[in-house]
Amino acid sequence: MMTLDAIGTFALIVGLLTLTPGLDTALILRTAALGRRRRAWGVILGIQSGTLLWGVLTSVGVTALLTASHLAYEALRWLGAAYLVWMGGRLVWVTWRHSSSSSPQTVGTEDAAKAGEGTADTLIGGWQQGIATNLLNPKVGAFYVAVLPQFLPAGASHLAAGVILTGVHILMGVAWGCALIAFARVLRDRLRRPSARRCLDRIAGTAIVAFGVRLALGP
């Protein structure tokens, strides 16, 4: 039977992981700061859908096969790195391309529309981006393989216990996402100028590329 101490310890570990600035934080902040609240919620739900899938697969032992297979892990790692570099690089490239060819009044809206964001503030679009970013990062799976089995009680259903623990992580992730969206509302008024939006896109794009390069070069 799972104890409250085990749940509390796991919550502390994943809580620190959630609060550590990273790709998820950058994506949510950037999307919400541009006024796309539905898309920002979609990103949050997509990230947490990926987290749930990693937790379930780890509980039934599937992700252990991924980390044990060097070829599968490397393939997923390079695919994820390529996706992040493409997404971040496109975000930066579009801002530089259109800053010189568009009028100041239209640059901001064109940048957001053409930088892989889609033209509509849709929940499903954000969900697709969030889950793709999460599932293409094998380090999330490696984290779950290393940590989750230590908290699965002997003699109990590993799947049920794993879903409960993953649920704790998801709740903390959603709560943190709510805080980021609330904070982004403060930034939104300052981002009405196209130049400010371009600056945000360049910062976010550079950060995403950096995460991709780090994923590619990491162990």
- Write the pLDDT tens digit of every residue in 6-58: 899 999 999 998 998 888 998 999 899 888 889 999 999 999 999 999 999 98
C-alpha separations of 37 from 91, 100, 115, 177 in Å:
19, 29, 17, 11
Confidence at residue 99, expressed as pLDDT on a 0 to 100 scale: 60
11-25, 52-66, 90-104, 136-150, range with the lowest pLDDT = 90-104
- Whether the pLDDT of residue 113 is over 60: the answer is no
Tokens of 218: 């990491």
**Lookup: tokens for 158:** 């590993």
pLDDT band at 96 (very low <50, low <70, confident <90, very high): confident
- Tell me the average pLDDT of the chain: 83
Amino acid letter at 36?
R
In three-state secondary structure terms, 2 is: coil
> Which of 180, 24, 133, 207 has its CA nearest to residue 199?
207
Residues 93-114, mean pLDDT to the nearest whole number: 54
DSSP state, 153? P
Over 50: is that where the pLDDT of 105 sits?
A: no
The phi, psi pair for 129, rounded to 5°, reads: -65, -40
Confidence label for 110 from pLDDT (cuts 50, 70 and 90): very low
The answer to whether the predicted template modeling score (pTM) of the entire model surpasses 0.75 is yes
What is the pLDDT confidence band of residue 149, given thresholds at 50, 70 and 90? confident
Please check whether residue 85 is in contact with residue 203, taking contact to mean a CB–CB distance below 8 angstroms: no
Higher pLDDT, 61 or 82: 82
Binning pLDDT at 50, 70 and 90, where does residue 1 land? low
Average of pLDDT values for 110-129? 67
Q: What is the pLDDT, as a whole number, of residue 131?
A: 96
**pLDDT at residue number 196:** 77
**Would you call 1 helix, strand, or coil by DSSP?**
coil
